[in-house]
Structure 1
Amino acid sequence: MLDRTLRWWPDAGAAVAVLMLGALEYTANDWLAYYGPVRELLFVLVVAGTALAVGLVRRAPGAALLLVWVIPLCQAATESPYVLTQIAVLAVAFGTARWGGPVTVRASALSIPAAAVAVVLLVEGGAVRINFPVPSYELITATVDQLGIGWRIGTAVVMAALLGVPWLAGLALRIAEQARADLARAAQEQAKAEETARIRDAQARLARDVHDVVGHSLAVILAQAESAQYLPDSEPAALKGLLAGIATSARSSLRDVQQVLSTTRDTPDDLDKLIANLRAGGREVVSGQDGTPRPLGEEQQVTAYRVLQEMLTNAIRHGRLDGAVIVQRSWTPDHLIVEVRNAVAADAAAGSGSGLDGMRERLAAVGGSLEAGRRDEVFVAVARIPAP
């Protein structure tokens, strides 16, 4: 309630200022006594109506515009004198352009030339009497005569300028406020779009991580299960060993999924663990490393791990069971190069390519690249990861 009252204080203050101006004009002029008590009452009503229009212009600009038209028309009809306090209509011109609705703004714009013409007609008809001091009157008439535009056009121009300047100022502030609101809305929408893009990117990364972890683990488990078919029945210990390996791979897969969902990061040593797990699954893996290993950034570590994981998954899925998987890591001054080779059958069907696309996206995110393709009966994938 108090906050609502405080919002009215500027409007009430402006109305009180107009009333005080009217009171000052009343006490400073003795010509009102010439018109009698009825004209004095009309003077008070004119001042009060003008103050009301100024007080309403922010909250009800349409009503304020209507008041500043009704008051002078009633003065003309009753032959009441026009008073200096009515200069406060300039505040109404400002307010209608600043706070009015579309209809009020258009109506106030049309009111400016209409008011200028109305003043000329009222002055010409004798309804408005302007009592300037003689020197001032002669100066005004001389200036108008020198311009050669006549008193009618001169009066209309002056009136239109008096009303037009505050109206344009209100319109300029209105446009500036609207521009600020549009900028704030655009910034809000941009922030929302960036947040949406960030969430979708995080979802895409999570989906790739889960795809890589689950796909790799299932491929290793599948390779182990297929190896069990070739064990003779006379070697139960070997079969138990393979089943234990399958259980280990499953536990490792669950752990990796938990790590992905909890956003924990893997270390560079996990590259060796990936190779060791594949070798433990019964696949022949030849691994080598050139150059001097050095620490990678956190993002590069995760990328190297996931890319090698997907490379090994593709090798298990599409490679020959009797062929070795060759993993070569090379350290150059600028990159860690990971190369995976595996033999494939000549008539092997090509994969969907989603795994390769996922690896390319991962590597591109850290400034790396991927080259992959078949060379006769060997599939070669080479990943380049920037290294400090």
Structure 2
Amino acid sequence: MKDRGTLFCAAVAVGVLVSGGLEYAMQDGLRESDRGPLIALVVLGTALAVALVRRVPSASLVLVWLIAISQAATATPFVLTQAAWAFIAFGLARWGARAVLWASVTSIAVGPVIAVGLIGRDLVWMDLPYASRNLFHVTVYELGLGRQIGAGVLVAVLLGMPWLGGLTLRILSRARIDLDLASRERARAEEIARAREAQTRLARDVHDVVGHSLAVILAQAESGRYLPDDDPSALKSALATIATSARASLGDVREVLSATGDTTDDLDKLIDNLRAGGHEVVTGHDGRPRPLPEAQRAVAYRVLQEMLTNAIRHGLRGGALTVRRTWSPDALGIEVRNGIEPAPGDRPAAPGSGLDGMRERLATVGGTLSAGVRAEVFVATARIPLP
């Protein structure tokens, strides 16, 4: 289907043909002259130039110059339908290539000077009957140099105004295209950023789930080395705990990968699972618990999970863990303590991606994390702001 610009140009071309026919029929001087066929060619050429200005602007510009030169060479009068040249000037600026754009503006500047200054007499004063000469009783040639220049400037302005209008629409159209491209690029960049963020979040969730379960499994496996050889029930209990932890870890990983992982704030269940694995956990509450929004629930669950993992991994074997949750009107505080091997001086926080991952996760909801050693006790405290 043709675009609207092409259809509009075709409609204007038909209008040029119709107006040219009416002008020829209504002007006695044109009918009585011996240049009727030439006038018909001028009208047809103008209509063709109008029709081509959308699809082939360069051909339209060439046609206009051929018509003007032919009129000058054959002394064919300028007809009113050639006012459609203003529409052609608009189309050349609106749809022409860069070369056509510069050629058209040069033509608008130079063409009127040539027409008025060099061949103005022939274009206006024709060998027509007296009645027709009354319409053109003063030639451009007879106006004098100053008025000739004024006439040329007037014609250039009359053609330049629609040309500037076409150029304005061309610039606006280009700006819309550039804006659309920029919008698409921005949307693509945002999509890539969201994908990378999702990948990072997925990697962090898998790290938290697998790291927590492996820490429990490792603790149980190491404790099995110290079980009496003549107590198979204790060994079976340790193996059962390892199997339970591994099964739970596998389920958590499946939930994370399927994007349907549990993001409830069931922190007690997380602690109970750790106790079922043979770890001693002391819990405490301050303040009045209340439901958490979705984002805060997920962060609280994963952060406590990572805190417990670090406590098991870096704490005393068999030592008790302390978990305290503090509810205030504007935040939830989670503190995990565990003893470490005695050593002189303070120790820095345990290295690795766990603490960094917790900080990044907390930052998504405006939370903070502090971690360090206090009197041979490693303390990690998370603060989660609440709406």
Query: If the length of structure 1 is used for normalisation, what is the TM-score?
Result: 0.90
Pick closer, same or farther for the CA change 1:277–1:133 going to 2, 3 Å: same
**Amino acid in the other structure paired with 1:32:** L
1:41 aligns with: 37
**Amino acid in the other structure paired with 1:127:** D
In the alignment of these two chains, the number of paired residues is: 377
Pick closer, same or farther for the CA change 1:292–1:33 going to 2, 3 Å: closer
The 8 Å contact of residues 115 and 159 in structure 1, kept in 2 or not, is answered as no
The 8 Å contact of residues 6 and 54 in structure 2, kept in 1 or not, is answered as no
Paired residue secondary structure (2:292): coil
**Amino acid in the other structure paired with 1:361:** E
Paired with 1:199 and 1:311, the residues of 2 have a C-alpha distance of 27
Paired residue secondary structure (1:352): coil
Paired with 2:31 and 2:241, the residues of 1 have a C-alpha distance of 115
Paired residue secondary structure (1:295): coil
1:210 aligns with: 206
The answer on 1:318 being equivalent to 2:314 is yes
Bigger CA drift: 304-313 or 332-341? 332-341
Paired residue secondary structure (2:124): coil
Query: If the length of structure 2 is used for normalisation, what is the TM-score?
Result: 0.90
Paired residues for 1:225-304 under 5 Å: 225-262=221-258, 263-269=260-266, 271-304=267-300
Q: 1:128 aligns with which of 104, 116, 123?
A: 123
The 8 Å contact of residues 336 and 381 in structure 2, kept in 1 or not, is answered as yes
Paired with 1:170 and 1:5, the residues of 2 have a C-alpha distance of 17
| Cα displacement string for residues 145-201 of structure 1 (whole angstroms, at most 9, x for unaligned residues) | 9xxx81122012101111100000111111111111122222222222222222221
Q: 1:10 aligns with which of 8, 11, 14?
A: 8
Paired residue secondary structure (2:380): strand
Bigger CA drift: 340-349 or 173-182? 340-349
Pick closer, same or farther for the CA change 1:6–1:100 going to 2, 3 Å: closer
Cα deviation, residue 8, structure 1: 4.6
Paired with 1:18 and 1:387, the residues of 2 have a C-alpha distance of 73
Cα deviation, residue 333, structure 1: 1.7
Paired residue secondary structure (2:123): coil
Long gaps (5+) in structure 2: 127-131
Paired residue secondary structure (2:28): coil
Pick closer, same or farther for the CA change 1:26–1:266 going to 2, 3 Å: closer
Paired residue secondary structure (1:80): coil
Cα deviation, residue 96, structure 1: 0.2
Cα deviation, residue 137, structure 1: 7.6
**Amino acid in the other structure paired with 1:102:** R
Paired with 1:375 and 1:227, the residues of 2 have a C-alpha distance of 27
Paired with 1:137 and 1:323, the residues of 2 have a C-alpha distance of 117
**Amino acid in the other structure paired with 1:128:** L
Pick closer, same or farther for the CA change 1:57–1:385 going to 2, 3 Å: same
The 8 Å contact of residues 223 and 316 in structure 1, kept in 2 or not, is answered as yes
Paired residues for 1:93-104 under 5 Å: 93-104=89-100
Bigger CA drift: 5-14 or 18-27? 5-14
Cα deviation, residue 97, structure 1: 0.4
Paired residue secondary structure (1:81): coil
Paired with 1:268 and 1:49, the residues of 2 have a C-alpha distance of 81
Cα deviation, residue 249, structure 1: 0.4
**Amino acid in the other structure paired with 1:9:** L
The 8 Å contact of residues 56 and 64 in structure 1, kept in 2 or not, is answered as yes
| Cα displacement string for residues 10-45 of structure 1 (whole angstroms, at most 9, x for unaligned residues) | 232211111111111111112235432xx2111111
Pick closer, same or farther for the CA change 1:175–1:63 going to 2, 3 Å: same
**Amino acid in the other structure paired with 2:382:** A
1:58 aligns with: 54
Cα deviation, residue 261, structure 1: 2.1
When the two chains are superposed, the root-mean-square deviation of aligned CA atoms in Å is: 2.6
| Cα displacement string for residues 315-337 of structure 1 (whole angstroms, at most 9, x for unaligned residues) | 11111214322111111122111
The 8 Å contact of residues 24 and 31 in structure 2, kept in 1 or not, is answered as no
The 8 Å contact of residues 125 and 133 in structure 2, kept in 1 or not, is answered as no
Paired with 1:170 and 1:349, the residues of 2 have a C-alpha distance of 70
2:351 aligns with: 352
Paired with 1:34 and 1:381, the residues of 2 have a C-alpha distance of 106
**Amino acid in the other structure paired with 2:18:** M
**Amino acid in the other structure paired with 1:321:** R
The answer on 1:190 being equivalent to 2:186 is yes
The 8 Å contact of residues 227 and 282 in structure 1, kept in 2 or not, is answered as no
Paired with 1:180 and 1:241, the residues of 2 have a C-alpha distance of 71
Paired with 1:56 and 1:196, the residues of 2 have a C-alpha distance of 44
The 8 Å contact of residues 5 and 54 in structure 2, kept in 1 or not, is answered as no
Paired with 1:122 and 1:81, the residues of 2 have a C-alpha distance of 15
Paired residue secondary structure (1:266): coil
Paired with 1:34 and 1:335, the residues of 2 have a C-alpha distance of 98
The 8 Å contact of residues 72 and 119 in structure 2, kept in 1 or not, is answered as no
Cα deviation, residue 380, structure 1: 1.0
The 8 Å contact of residues 92 and 100 in structure 2, kept in 1 or not, is answered as yes
| Cα displacement string for residues 229-271 of structure 1 (whole angstroms, at most 9, x for unaligned residues) | 00011111011001000011011111111222232323222x2
The 8 Å contact of residues 286 and 327 in structure 2, kept in 1 or not, is answered as yes
**Amino acid in the other structure paired with 1:82:** F
Paired with 1:34 and 1:267, the residues of 2 have a C-alpha distance of 97
Paired residue secondary structure (2:381): strand
Paired with 1:367 and 1:349, the residues of 2 have a C-alpha distance of 24
**Amino acid in the other structure paired with 2:166:** G
2:129 aligns with: none
